[in-house]
Amino acid sequence: MPSPYREEHDHFRNTVRQYCLKELAPYADAWEEAELFPNEVFKRAGDLGLFAAHYPEEQGGAGGDYWFSIAKAEELPKCGSAGVSMGLLVQGDMATPVISDLGTKEQIEEFLTPAIKGEKIAALGVSEPNAGSDVAGIQTWAKKDGDDWIVNGSKTYITNGTRADFVTLLVKTNPEAGAHGCSFFLVPTKTKGFTVAKKLKKMGNHASDTAELAFEDMRVPQRYMLGQPNQGFMYLMQNFQAERLIACASACGGMQLAIDDAIAYGRDRKAFGKPIIKREYWQHKFVDLQTKVEAAKALTYKAAEMFNDEHHVKKQPISFESVKFISMAKIFVGELGSEVIDQCLQFHGGAGYMDEYRISRAFRDQRLLRIGGGTTETMRYYVAKLMGL
């Protein structure tokens, strides 16, 4: 397919790249060690337009298409910390798109516009201790009480959860209706009854904060309901497509970075009298890995092209055909990520097992892709249904 990128995309990509290399990467190790990066990173990213590029101008955005988000996701791995990248992507591409799609003027002014400026930190509250990929099984519920809703329950694995200013929260509002009884709310974290139950320790993505949240008789006014009641599951399925696409684009960027790092390492590292990259076995191995990454990128671009055409150009709901391609991309990219990072680590030998090398961190971080945003097994279930199997 022809390149989807124009000159303005290239300028934006360069802005993201320079921001990552000059302002984030030098601190990545310290933030990984501290298991948190500063809140100021959100504000600086907002000032540079990283969050706003693909949002409408009337909402505080720059009015660009979805390819700005894809370009951003491909460049963010250069910051050197998947945790930082994750926190920023949740802010601009996971917790906020549904507000742009459904929000009232007041909701957009109170939540979306300050979020894409980096002035408020956002989190997406969907997963629960007993409901991950099976979103229909969520148990957090809300009961109507006059002009308010009383929310009880909990959420877990919530990125940005310890410091968010608000959470885009999915709850059950009609427990008897199963998946079709869910609704979205925008919940300021200062709301009485909202608690950060604990910060979670993770295998990877250390610089991002991940929390378990609890709600006890939390009173949320009707004006904070997002969209129509009991339509939350449908809204979420649309929102998930963007989340999965962004994850694929980011993973493709991360795989390319790992290959480039490994080849650079292999030019300097000598074994048995010559640089290890000069060994034919490894040359052929990297040819195969690069070929697969190009295939993954092409599949991701195909899915992104469909998503951009339907969602940004035609302003239509995402079609089942797009869902199929996005799900296939997440399957393929997720499994390839494990292969690429593992082989790049193997190429480093003992050095790859040391935390001082970026590949060691990448080995832990990439494993999330086959879980977050819907497991690989769930993606195969969706694709099988869409293939009529």
Architecture, CATH, for domain 232-386: Up-down Bundle (1.20)
pLDDT, tens digit (0-9, with 9 covering 90-100), for 332-369: 999 999 999 999 999 999 999 998 899 999 999 999 99
45 pLDDT band, cuts 50/70/90, is: very high
> What pLDDT does residue 170 have?
96
pLDDT, tens digit (0-9, with 9 covering 90-100), for 288-321: 999 999 999 999 999 999 999 999 888 888 999 9
Higher pLDDT, 129 or 119: 119
> What pLDDT does residue 130 have?
84
Residue entry with tokens 């030019």: 267
> What pLDDT does residue 276 have?
94
What separation in angstroms does the CA of 361 have from each of 21, 22, 159, 209, 254? 17, 20, 18, 16, 12
144 pLDDT band, cuts 50/70/90, is: very high
**Which of 32, 75, 243, 310 is labelled catalytic?**
243
pLDDT at 282 over 80: yes
> What pLDDT does residue 178 have?
76
pLDDT at 166 over 80: yes
Any catalytic annotation for residue 33? no
pLDDT at 59 over 80: yes
Q: And the tokens for 11?
A: 């300028």
Sign of the dihedral defined by the CA atoms of residues 96, 100, 103, 106, in that order:
positive
Amino acid identity of residue 333, one-letter, is V
> What pLDDT does residue 304 have?
96
Q: What is the mean pLDDT of the chain?
A: 95
What separation in angstroms does the CA of 14 have from each of 20, 174, 200, 261? 10, 47, 34, 20
> What pLDDT does residue 226 have?
97
Instruction: Give ranges for CATH 1.10.540.10 in the chain.
Output: 7-121
pLDDT, tens digit (0-9, with 9 covering 90-100), for 170-209: 999 998 887 789 999 999 999 999 999 999 999 999 999 9
> What pLDDT does residue 217 have?
97
pLDDT at 132 over 90: no
Cβ–Cβ under 8 Å, residues 165 and 120 = yes
pLDDT, tens digit (0-9, with 9 covering 90-100), for 75-119: 999 999 999 999 999 999 999 999 999 999 999 999 999 999 999
> What pLDDT does residue 265 have?
96
Amino acid identity of residue 37, one-letter, is F
> Are β-strands 182-188 and 141-145 bridged in parallel, bridged antiparallel, or unpaired?
unpaired
Amino acid identity of residue 279, one-letter, is R
Distance CA 138, CA 123 (A): 17
In this prediction, residues 138-149 reach a mean pLDDT of 94
Cβ–Cβ under 8 Å, residues 16 and 10 = no
Please, is 135 exposed, middle or buried when counting C-beta atoms within 10 Å of its C-beta (0-12, 13-18, 19+)? buried
> Are β-strands 148-159 and 210-221 bridged in parallel, bridged antiparallel, or unpaired?
antiparallel
pLDDT, tens digit (0-9, with 9 covering 90-100), for 204-253: 999 999 999 999 999 999 999 999 999 999 999 989 999 999 999 999 99
End-to-end CA separation in angstroms for the chain:
29
How far from chain centre, in Å, is Cα 235? Answer: 17
> What pLDDT does residue 179 have?
76
CATH topology of domain 7-121: Butyryl-Coa Dehydrogenase, subunit A; domain 1 (1.10.540)
Instruction: Give ranges for CATH 1.20.140.10 in the chain.
Output: 232-386
CATH topology of domain 123-226: Butyryl-CoA Dehydrogenase, subunit A; domain 2 (2.40.110)
Higher pLDDT, 2 or 256: 256
